[in-house]
Structure 1
Amino acid sequence: MSNCSPLLRAQAKAALEKRANLVAEMRSVQAAANLSDAEKRERIERLDVDVNALEAEAREAVARGEREAEVRSLTGNSALFAQTGNQRQAEDENAWRSLMPSLSEYRALIAEGTPSSGGYTVPSGTASKYIDALKANSAFLRGLPPESVVPFDSATFSVPQLVSSTGTDYVDEGETIPEGEMVWGEVKFEATKIGRIQWATVEILEDSAVNQRNAIANNLLRDASLKFDADAFTGSGSNPVKGVLSQGISTTLGTGKITVTYDDLADAVARIEAMNGTPSVVWASVDMAAALRKEKAAGSGNYQGGSPVDAPASTAWGLPILPSAFLPPKTVVVADGSRIMVGIRRNASVKVSEDARFDSDQVGFKLTMRVAGVSLAEASSAQIVKASAS
């Protein structure tokens, strides 16, 4: 019996090392520029099967070690009762130290607290890309360039804003260049947390035909992105996340203009460009996105956005069109994404606990993220176009 425990310990560690190598390979596949998305998914899915098998092997080794420890304790009781207290304690400690690592030591081996390593959240390739997946689920974040999503490390997200600037003028040769004056202000947002816990029984996780752990994590992430999108577009007043609709410039079309057209988008683009902005995205309510997709040029019958094979739904005036159910009906926003900032205090992360409901054999999945506001450098950077009600 004494020779079995080190063997099981070595077996668990070997399985975890192989798992780590496969995780690294999954990351390499994800980053490979020469593979298509379909090829990446196929390879990662194959690797994920092996990752799950190796983790199961390590868990089984731990469980066997715990059973051996229990048997060893029971069979050694008669001899232990005959020993002195100090001797019994020393030998008992040595016996346990020769067995498998404790649960906390096992968790440390698989880096359960490190999202980039995956831990209990399978597969690790998904767990390491939560912020990328969040952007993929969020119509608002997809419309922003990477530099507009700003990490910060305090309770408050402060965005400097130029209030006014004076002093620029023509200067004669040899004359002193006059001093200008810039007045700066700031907009502050308090970090606010988005979070949710989902419970699942061990039986559901074991018997599911799909990777239920990964499915739960993805659903939590989707729900977080939906909550953020709702406030990023329409948040106002006491809402902790202020939206673009409450900060941009709104234009309501005249009576009879019941849909927003490509001509209206052209006007909004011009208004942004007039302030030296660079329009980069169009966000549209579901009904207006549908209307833009079906709009045809007068007299030709051709789609304004191009022929169907050219994906007319994807662009307008060279800008991506991103539909969102969180925009009010008959609403389109044309924006310069580089002039919009979103504060990320803590990236979205999913953690798993197998202890909180230990007595009912349930596993808890917890998603949390902290964000702080949506800030426009100037109101003209977001042009809100609303169709007439009648």
Structure 2
Amino acid sequence: MSLLTTTSGVSGITPDDHGPLIVQPVERESVALQVASVIKTDSTKVHIPIVHTDAGASFVAEGEEIAATDAVMGELEIVPAKCAGLSKVSSELAEDSNPDAQKLVGDGLARSIAGALDRSFFGALTYPDPAGLEAVKGLGKVDAGASFTNLDAFQEAINRAENEGATITAFAANPVDALTLAKLKQTKDSNVPLLGSDPTTPTRRTILGVPLYVSRAVTAGTVWAIPRDRVMVVMRRDVRLDVSRDALFTSDQVAIKATMRAAHAFPHPAAIQRVSLTKAA
């Protein structure tokens, strides 16, 4: 991932900082980048193949001709869009070579970019955001009833994905719904949580063994069941970091801007399941 940097007499933040300062924190903060397959490219657009119908196969006797059948193919053309974050810090902080001081700058930018990326990924199409999950047609839909009282709807989502030949690898929920699910108990008189835990990450909860991710970008009342290999985030490899004190000259502050290009691809919508609460009439 290349980095272009422009400065106006500002030291401390250098091109070598782009990995630990911006890219790595974004990848940690963004739920979209954790639940989807990430494709990195240098191209301005990416073509992702879609298999509508697989090529046929059958048993044949020895020596007999094998019947030829063609797969029915399609493709998605994905054009990464610009996602940017802007942070204003004091000149002293921007010029500080202390890694902890630079980390404060990077964390703020990372949160900004990760938040924008997640809002786009889980949301509806609103220009200039790339089309997100709520804008995708043909998704699987599971009705969870008026409230989350058990895990039946999530088991149904897993099974529906399996009917499409996919495996759910992540659930994503709004913090409000995640708390409701976390409070569910195994039985009426039990204090044992119904949700499981991930041995590799003790603070992470699981639904029927599948990791549960939490993001404010997910609409309350909806939990997404996501198969990683059917959901993609396409990222341009270039990240640009611009540092300037010109616009904030009178306040002795520095503007630090980070931009990256990304878009989403959902080549198999029916494999993605939307578990939703029934809306009151």
**1:315-364: per-residue Cα shift (whole Å, max 9, x none)?**
1111110111111111111111122111101354534345x459645433
* AA matched with 2:207: A
Maintained 8 Å contact 2:4/2:240: no
2:70 is matched with which residue? 181
Q: Decide which structure has greater helix share.
A: 1
Maintained 8 Å contact 1:134/1:348: no
Maintained 8 Å contact 1:121/1:213: yes
Q: Decide which structure has greater strand share.
A: 2
- How far is 1:235 from its partner? 3.1
Partner of residue 183 from structure 2, selected from 288, 294, 297: 294
Inter-partner Cα distance in structure 2 for 1:157 and 1:348: 18
1:388 is matched with which residue? 278
2:59 is matched with which residue? 170
Matches within 5 A, 1:132-211: 132-144=24-36, 148-202=37-91
Maintained 8 Å contact 1:150/1:343: yes
Inter-partner Cα distance in structure 2 for 1:265 and 1:181: 36
- How far is 1:134 from its partner? 0.7
Is 1:280 equivalent to 2:172 in the alignment?
Answer: no
Inter-partner Cα distance in structure 1 for 2:56 and 2:99: 66
Maintained 8 Å contact 2:172/2:215: yes
Structure 2 residue matching 1:314: 3-state secondary structure: strand
* AA matched with 1:369: M
Is 1:341 equivalent to 2:257 in the alignment?
Answer: no
Maintained 8 Å contact 1:292/1:313: no
Inter-partner Cα distance in structure 2 for 1:257 and 1:336: 25
- How far is 1:192 from its partner? 1.1
* AA matched with 2:184: E
Partner of residue 246 from structure 1, selected from 130, 135, 139: 135
1:324 is matched with which residue? 215
Inter-partner Cα distance in structure 1 for 2:221 and 2:13: 41
Maintained 8 Å contact 2:140/2:274: yes
* AA matched with 2:146: K
Tell me the TM-score normalized by structure 2: 0.81
Maintained 8 Å contact 2:142/2:156: no
- C-alpha change, 1:297 and 1:347, in structure 2 (3 Å) is farther
1:215 is matched with which residue? 104
Structure 2 residue matching 1:135: 3-state secondary structure: helix
* AA matched with 2:217: F
Inter-partner Cα distance in structure 2 for 1:125 and 1:202: 17
* AA matched with 1:164: T
Maintained 8 Å contact 1:285/1:329: yes
1:371 is matched with which residue? 262
Inter-partner Cα distance in structure 2 for 1:152 and 1:204: 33
- C-alpha change, 1:235 and 1:131, in structure 2 (3 Å) is farther
Inter-partner Cα distance in structure 1 for 2:75 and 2:279: 36
Tell me the TM-score normalized by structure 1: 0.60
1:234 is matched with which residue? 123
- C-alpha change, 1:234 and 1:179, in structure 2 (3 Å) is same
Structure of larger gyration radius: 1
- How far is 1:370 from its partner? 0.7
**1:277-335: per-residue Cα shift (whole Å, max 9, x none)?**
1211010122221121111123451321248x995851111111011111111111111
1:120 is matched with which residue? 12
1:262 is matched with which residue? 151
Q: How many residues align?
A: 269
- How far is 1:168 from its partner? 2.3
- How far is 1:141 from its partner? 1.3
Q: Which runs of 5+ in 2 are unaligned?
A: none
Q: How well do the aligned residues superpose, as a CA RMSD in angstroms? A: 3.4
Inter-partner Cα distance in structure 2 for 1:201 and 1:230: 29
Percent identical residues = 24
- How far is 1:375 from its partner? 1.3
- How far is 1:388 from its partner? 1.3
